[in-house]
Structure 1
Amino acid sequence: MEAGHDFLKALATVLLVAAVTTVLFQRLRQPVVLGYMIAGMVIGPYVPIPLVADPDIIHTLSELGVILLMFSLGLEFSLHKLVEVGPAAGITAVVQSSLMLCLGFEVARLFGWTTREAMFTGAIVAISSTTIIAKAFEEQRIGGSLREIVVGVLIVEDLIAILLMAALTAIGSGGAVSVRELGVTSLHLAIFLAALIVVGILVVPRAIRAIIAMNRPETTLVASIGLCFGVSLLARSFGYSVALGAFISGSLVAESGEQHAIEGLIRPVRDLFAAIFFVSVGMMLDPSILVDHWRAILVLTFIVIVGKVLGVGFGAFLTGHGVQTSIGAGLSLAQIGEFSFIIAGLGISLDATRNFLYPIAIAVSAITTLTTPWLIRAAKPVASFVDHKLPQPLQTFAALYGSWIDRLRSGSANKADRTAGTMIRKLLKQLVVDALLLGAVIVAAYVARPRIVKIEIERLGLPWEFANSIALAFSVLCALPFCIGIARVARRLGILLADLAFPGTATPEGLDLAAAPRRALIVTLQLACVLLVGIPLVTFTQPLLPGFQGALILLIALVLLGIMFWKTTTNLEGHVRAGAEIVAEALTAGTVTTDPGAEDARKKLDQLRSGLGTPVTVIVEGGSPADGHSLAELDLRGLTGATVLAISREDHAIVPSAKELLRQGDVLVVAGSREAVHAAKVLLEGAHGSPRERG
């Protein structure tokens, strides 16, 4: 009886204090998750307020919150949805997560934490918060391409988080970070997951559809939650996290196609126990630990904001999103949340980390939760500032690159024959195989090098330094062929994709009219391939290599490619200036549309235009916001991502500077991705008449 009274008292305390804080934070227009964590501090044992809930009872209830929260996330994830978000979100998520894992690991190592704690730290800062972003986007009514890329990245990040939790479970369960033990444990985990998914995919979707057909909501609710807890218990019995089991059960239910009906039923129950979970997180926040580790909190907060903005922004830009969308996505995802708490709690439960890491994760999450709405609002001015500070060649490249990726996605790429598609898949497989083999060589060198050095010392009598240098040189020689292979495959892939983006741009005399854009695209795609392979590889081998050897090698490769990239963008700038004048003059004279005898000139012009992103022309009408204003005042490129290549005015063409004043009757040659050009037309239209467009 006494136990039941204690349970009721703890539950009442939690829910009453949480109710007060959630109402208060709703009025203040702040994230309610932060209010729940403050409620936890109020009723926790570390703050001298006479409202203390039983930590053991709250911890048990919070486990239910974790399970239901992960089940809900699993409902949002299915195989077909992963296909829908496309490679753009996948590439962006991989770049961002790998970069944050690497940065988090190095920061922890600089603070002198153990290797395991460094691994958990990297995972804690790698995953953004779905809950916080969803709430912020709802309040600020964010939509369009920014919402699509952010939601896509979050879906892939959720999958990465599950893989990280599985890997960290394997790492945290052993007595030492051993490659052999990690491999054996990971193999057991893979077998368990494969068996669970295969059996589940055969049984669960059919069972859920049969239960839904009964049209009894309470039966559906009880069966769904029962399945969730059953799979969670199964995962726990095999020594894995209950969160992993809950996520898998949600994914299996999602395959039935009835996830929306189930999600509506479990949402009230999930929200209740999720609130208790976040309150329990706040209860573990010890102010004395925060004071002792304030430097780590500030550094990790800085790393989360800056690292995610750079990682997401760069990844989104490489996949064809403009500067504004890419920076907006980076600023939106610059926080950590529920997965970070779960990963930090996993470290404590496995006895792989000390207790200080959990409060640090909470503090970093609280700070970044507060900054997220402000960062989202700052997206447009930050994007405009970045655009203004970029050198002119990079401004031109940024405006045109999105249009090239558009052509690969829908235009020329769709007309390519099957041979090109087969070759692309073959090159991607080669890239993955070379990367895996390179990682295997690095691991093998890490394991075998001490033995090789010992043999050299004992049998050849060599000094340790010399023997170690020989072993290191041998390891480098073994890895070199795979590094060269990755570079070659990346170049071949870049050339093939560039041919698809700029088809038929050679004249009968053999002159390539899109040579400069082609070279810029090839180098950019090479850079993207090196990043996609290099950052995860460095992250994977980081615990095995002393110091910053892997990161240094990757940095050298990026510097070399960066020099090549700068040269190609400089050449592109000259190409664009010359080509823009020709396009403007031709369009002004009506060469493209009115002269039926200029077939050769028309073909040559079409070939030239392909490298300029297939520009369109917009006539400045009277009353347009552009009339009488300079391009700098309009901030057309900073706000839309499109660029004005040239202006046709009366009987001559102008290559404009930022200070060029626009006049009524000017014909603007606007280039960029389809989305950027459309946004530019809307900006030029304003509240007045629509600007006339010519092809």
Structure 2
Amino acid sequence: MVLLSGLASEVNLLLIISLLIVVLGLILRRFNQPYIIAYILSGIILGPHGLAIVTDITIAQHLGDIGLIILMFFIGMEISLPDFLKRWKVAFFGTGMQVVFSVILMYILGTFLDWSFNRMVLLGFIISISSSAVVIKLIQDQTDPTSKTSQNVISILLTQDILIVPMIIVLSLLGGDSLDVKQVALQITGGILIIITMIYLIKKQKIKLPFEKILSDDHELQIFAGLIACFGIALLTSLFELSASLGALVSGILINASDSNKWLHDSLHSFRVILISIFFISVGMLINLTFLKEHWLAVSLLVLIVYISNHGINAISLKLLGNTWRESLIGGSFLAQIGEFSFVLATIGLQQGIISNYGYQITIIVIAITIFISPFWVLLTHKTIGIVE
């Protein structure tokens, strides 16, 4: 009876989540808004800071981490390295300017607020990373993924994701009382291996996977082969003290360079929808409404600073790289939020003693809110440009 009772409660929870997403999704669809907002709102409503139907967010966060790994795997499968190299100037200079100007902005702000240098660097890194999860979904829903603006934005996102490796290493060097040589050595080794893999793919352009021919017509085993490819490399990168999501991205890029891209994409699509929704639900659960109420002014100012600075920096960067002002402003709007990898950086900052628990809480809630606001910001930018034109 206890088992049945526990099962019934889990079924009820799944039913409530599904009903809430459907209702919110139908409402948002009438206003041409993406389902991401419905997922995050569901997390806010159901989470410990809402109706408290879900009080233990640890499980949701773990499932969300799995969803993020799947998402990064799918993003990788959309990335062709030869096409990426055609836009290397946009990717490297655009991302480089974003990181440098973000750190400079935090240095200026930190000087007035008496922050430590380590904290300035950490927060500069955090706001310089945009959300691949949000942006790719918005591009697919609202624009042409093959357009110049979309391709430029995707190139910058990929470079940002790769830059997570040196950022993690730098934060490991900055934080703590003593340097963990073993950890840093593992991270550097992992980063070098990723670079070697990318260079190999660029030279080969096309690779063959060992299971391609055997599983090409077996749709059931394709699902498990895809999961092995995704989580196998994700596990390897985590063993090197790097993000598992980064490994999933690399795995997806490997699949893109093979002939397995299409059938793996189709076979895992259902997993993608479910697990990605869980990731965004877990983001919503991180939004502490009580904390937000108590510190609404500081959170609001930080969110505003993030959006204005990120939008401005990215728009100017894209303009300097030869885009029109229209393309640059739209591209900047897509990249204005803070990304999911910044959760990882914030956690490292807390573990290394770079930020306090209060600093961590306010950082997490700002990241979550910028992700939530992103679709509205992109829509506002489109409407504003339309009015001006």
- TM-score interval (norm. to shorter): 0.7 to 0.9
CA shift for structure 1 position 40: 0.7
> 1:192 and 2:190 equivalent?
yes
CA shift for structure 1 position 32: 1.9
Alignment of 1:17-56 (within 5 A): 17-47=20-50, 49=51, 51-52=53-54, 54-56=56-58
Equivalence for 1:513: none
CA shift for structure 1 position 148: 1.1
User: Structure 2-normalised TM-score?
Assistant: 0.81
CA shift for structure 1 position 329: 2.8
CA shift for structure 1 position 70: 1.6
Corresponding letter in the other structure for 1:333: L
CA shift for structure 1 position 141: 4.5
Alignment of 1:90-489 (within 5 A): 90-104=92-106, 106-107=108-109, 110-111=112-113, 115-137=117-139, 140-141=142-143, 147-168=147-168, 171-172=171-172, 175-176=175-176, 181=179, 186-195=184-193, 198=196, 205-207=207-209, 210-211=212-213, 214-344=216-346, 347=349, 353=355, 354=357, 355-356=360-361, 357-382=363-388
Asked if 2 retains the 8 angstrom alpha-carbon contact of 1:308 and 1:330, the reply is yes
* Secondary structure in structure 2 of the residue aligned to 1:308: helix
Q: Which has the higher contact order (CA 8 A, sep 6+)?
A: 2
Alignment of 1:500-579 (within 5 A): none
Deviations 1:216-243 (A, max 9, x none): 2322221121121122223333333222
Moved more, 1-10 or 295-304: 1-10
- Bigger share in helix: 2
In 2 relative to 1, CA 377–209 (structure 1 residues): closer, same or farther, beyond 3 Å?
A: farther
Equivalence for 2:61: 59
In 2 relative to 1, CA 347–5 (structure 1 residues): closer, same or farther, beyond 3 Å?
A: farther
In 2 relative to 1, CA 277–134 (structure 1 residues): closer, same or farther, beyond 3 Å?
A: closer
CA shift for structure 1 position 183: 8.5
State the alpha-carbon separation in 2 of the partners of residues 88 and 123 from structure 1.
19
Corresponding letter in the other structure for 1:240: L
CA shift for structure 1 position 89: 4.4
Asked if 2 retains the 8 angstrom alpha-carbon contact of 1:45 and 1:52, the reply is yes
CA shift for structure 1 position 69: 1.3
CA shift for structure 1 position 285: 0.9
Deviations 1:537-560 (A, max 9, x none): xxxxxxxxxxxxxxxxxxxxxxxx
Equivalence for 2:70: 68
Deviations 1:316-342 (A, max 9, x none): 222222333333333443333444445
CA shift for structure 1 position 142: 5.5
Asked if 2 retains the 8 angstrom alpha-carbon contact of 1:305 and 1:368, the reply is no
Alignment of 1:621-640 (within 5 A): none
In 2 relative to 1, CA 345–297 (structure 1 residues): closer, same or farther, beyond 3 Å?
A: same
User: Between Structure 1 and Structure 2, whose CA radius of gyration is higher?
Assistant: 1
Corresponding letter in the other structure for 1:157: L
Equivalence for 1:80: 82
State the alpha-carbon separation in 1 of the partners of residues 34 and 135 from structure 2.
10
User: Structure 1-normalised TM-score?
Assistant: 0.48
Q: Mark the runs of 5 or more structure 1 residues left unpaired by the alignment.
A: 385-695
In 2 relative to 1, CA 68–157 (structure 1 residues): closer, same or farther, beyond 3 Å?
A: same
In 2 relative to 1, CA 72–237 (structure 1 residues): closer, same or farther, beyond 3 Å?
A: same
Q: Mark the runs of 5 or more structure 2 residues left unpaired by the alignment.
A: none
Equivalence for 1:613: none
State the alpha-carbon separation in 2 of the partners of residues 268 and 217 from structure 1.
13
Asked if 2 retains the 8 angstrom alpha-carbon contact of 1:66 and 1:277, the reply is yes
State the alpha-carbon separation in 1 of the partners of residues 148 and 177 from structure 2.
39
In 2 relative to 1, CA 245–140 (structure 1 residues): closer, same or farther, beyond 3 Å?
A: closer
